[in-house]
Amino acid sequence: MMENRKVSRCLIVFLTMITMFGTQKAIAQDDESVFATLKTVVIDAGHGGKDPGCHGGHAQEKTVCLTMALMLGEQIKKDYPSINVIYTRDTDVFVELNERAKIANRNNADLFICIHANAASAAAYGTETYVLGLHRTQSQQAVAARENATIHLEDDGGKKYEDFNMTPDAIIARQIQLSVFLDQSISFADKIQAEFTSLGRYDRGVKQAGFIVLYKTTMPSVLIETGFLTNPKEEKYLSDSITQRQMANAMFTAFKKYKNELEGVEGQVETNNTERNVNHESIDSIQIPVDPIQVVEKKDVVIFKVQVETATSPIALTDRKFKGYSVSEYVHGGLYKYTFGTFENDVQGATVFQRKLREQGYPHAFVVAFLNGERINLQKAIILAEK
């Protein structure tokens, strides 16, 4: 899926941008936040107010998107009352693209869900979900251009974006910078498309394009195109309250599966941490840029690891499922969780390692972070590591 580019060129751009990232996201201050993997969700209903978005014979994008966004938020609140659900808008008002991203960033969101409807010929149909990246087709570029065109309705006519760098190199650098979040974005997008398919919707796939709102957010983020209002059948589908509820329910099911996968188990609050490390030897069967040697963890140093297994009872650290790798075990909420690798202040190395592990039979491997023996929120960990 990803476009191939020379790594050295990307890293130069990446290093110039990393300072910007460190200042974009404030660190959550309450102690509870360091234990919750998914604490705050921002739901962004596209367009609004003087910006109607695309339209069909009667339905407007801003209206159908807001309805589904509110339905999704209500379902999350109902099933997960501890999760903070924030809307970029909950009425028919205009919100600038820049402000939508700022709402997510300043609230330390763990997930950003942007809901839109599409436009093309009357024959076009189906759903597609986007993550940040380089477009591969003219149609993907057209979708991003149409959604980004909202800036021209802003008070300054979009002047604030004149120096905004959306060149291919800048987008690639941003992907590297937020690579751990990009993996999570793709995982969530895959689940959304799978749930839409279960409703009988045509799957146009998970795609990438240069959406301003995705570029500016600093957490896992997706932009969902729920269907084509320019197709009369899809316009009717997206305008009906029953099928709108079905779409919102499909998004919620994808959210639930994503949350469960991210946290390792449904409905568990991660507290009461303990950890034990054994078999302190290097993992050398996978070629990665940083040698993940198990070491005694240093005080106030952020440690990134890759979690591969969760269980209700202890698993022998020599179990075949660990394939001979060095294993760390930690306990959260009475559950036993198992990790490979130790990366000091190095989320990039952990992310590369995660991808290798997925290729070698651990499809649900994901990066976790620790500080002074306690598991902490991943976004917070990245900021602390950069300091």
Residue 299: exposure state from Cβ atoms within 10 A (0-12, 13-18, ≥19)? exposed
> What confidence score (pLDDT) does residue 335 get?
78
Q: Is residue 1 one of the residues assigned to a domain?
A: no
Question: What contacts 137, CB < 8 A, 6 or more positions away?
Answer: none
Q: Is residue 279 one of the residues assigned to a domain?
A: yes
Query: Residue with structure tokens 């997930």?
Result: 111
Number of residues that this document lists for the chain: 387
Q: Which of 263, 293, 315 is the last residue of a domain?
A: 263
DSSP code, position 260: H
**Domain shared by 96 and 32, yes or no:** yes
Q: What is the spatial distance between Cα 222 and Cα 295, in angstroms, rounded to a whole number?
A: 36
**Domain shared by 213 and 132, yes or no:** yes
Query: Residue with structure tokens 């499809």?
Result: 363
**Domain shared by 284 and 218, yes or no:** no
**Domain shared by 380 and 304, yes or no:** yes
- 48: number of Cβ within 10 Å: 25
Q: What are the tokens at 361?
A: 């039979």
**Domain shared by 253 and 278, yes or no:** no
Whole-prediction pTM: 0.61
Q: Which of 241, 263, 285 is the last residue of a domain?
A: 263
Helix and strand counts by DSSP (H, E) for the chain: 11, 12
Among 235, 221, 55, 27, residue whose Cα is nearest residue 131: 221
> What confidence score (pLDDT) does residue 231 get?
96
Residues 172 and 230: beta-carbon distance below 8 Å: no
Q: What is the spatial distance between Cα 148 and Cα 96, in angstroms, rounded to a whole number?
A: 10
129: domain CATH number is: 3.40.630.40
381: domain CATH number is: 3.30.70.1070
Among 109, 77, 58, 1, residue whose Cα is nearest residue 355: 1
**2 to 112, 129, 162, 190, 294: CA distances (angstroms):** 21, 15, 27, 15, 31
* Secondary structure, 3-state, 155-220: CCCCHHHCCCCCCHHHHHHHHHHCHHHHHHHHHHHHHHHHHHHHCCCCEEEEEEECCHHHHHCCCC
> What confidence score (pLDDT) does residue 339 get?
94
- Residue numbers of the domain that contains 256: 7-263
Q: Give the residue ranges of the chain where pLDDT is below 70.
A: 1-36, 134-180, 264-298, 333
Q: Is residue 180 one of the residues assigned to a domain?
A: yes
Q: What is the spatial distance between Cα 287 and Cα 290, in angstroms, rounded to a whole number?
A: 9
Q: Which of 230, 263, 296 is the last residue of a domain?
A: 263
What residue type is 93 in one-letter code? V
For 326-362, b/e burial (b = at least 16 CB within 10 A) is bbbbbbbbebbbbbbbbbbbbbbbbbbbbbbbbeeeb
Q: What are the tokens at 251?
A: 């998004």
**Longest CA span, the chain:** 66
**Domain shared by 124 and 59, yes or no:** yes
> What confidence score (pLDDT) does residue 368 get?
87
Q: What is the spatial distance between Cα 197 and Cα 152, in angstroms, rounded to a whole number?
A: 34
For 234-264, b/e burial (b = at least 16 CB within 10 A) is bbebbbeeebbebbbbbbbbbbbbbbebbbb
**Domain shared by 374 and 302, yes or no:** yes
Q: Is residue 359 one of the residues assigned to a domain?
A: yes
Query: Residue with structure tokens 């059948």?
Result: 233
- As for how many domains the chain has, the answer is 2
Segments in the chain forming alpha helices (H): 7-24, 61-79, 97-106, 138-148, 168-177, 179-198, 212-216, 232-239, 241-263, 347-359, 378-386
**Domain shared by 85 and 191, yes or no:** yes
> What confidence score (pLDDT) does residue 381 get?
83
Q: Is residue 269 one of the residues assigned to a domain?
A: no
**Domain shared by 189 and 296, yes or no:** no
Q: Is residue 144 one of the residues assigned to a domain?
A: yes
Secondary structure class of 340 (helix, strand, coil): strand
**Domain shared by 202 and 66, yes or no:** yes
Among 122, 138, 159, 32, residue whose Cα is nearest residue 84: 32
Q: Is residue 2 one of the residues assigned to a domain?
A: no
**Domain shared by 254 and 292, yes or no:** no
Among 312, 379, 383, residue whose Cα is nearest residue 111: 379
Q: Is residue 167 one of the residues assigned to a domain?
A: yes
Secondary structure class of 37 (helix, strand, coil): coil
**Domain shared by 254 and 296, yes or no:** no
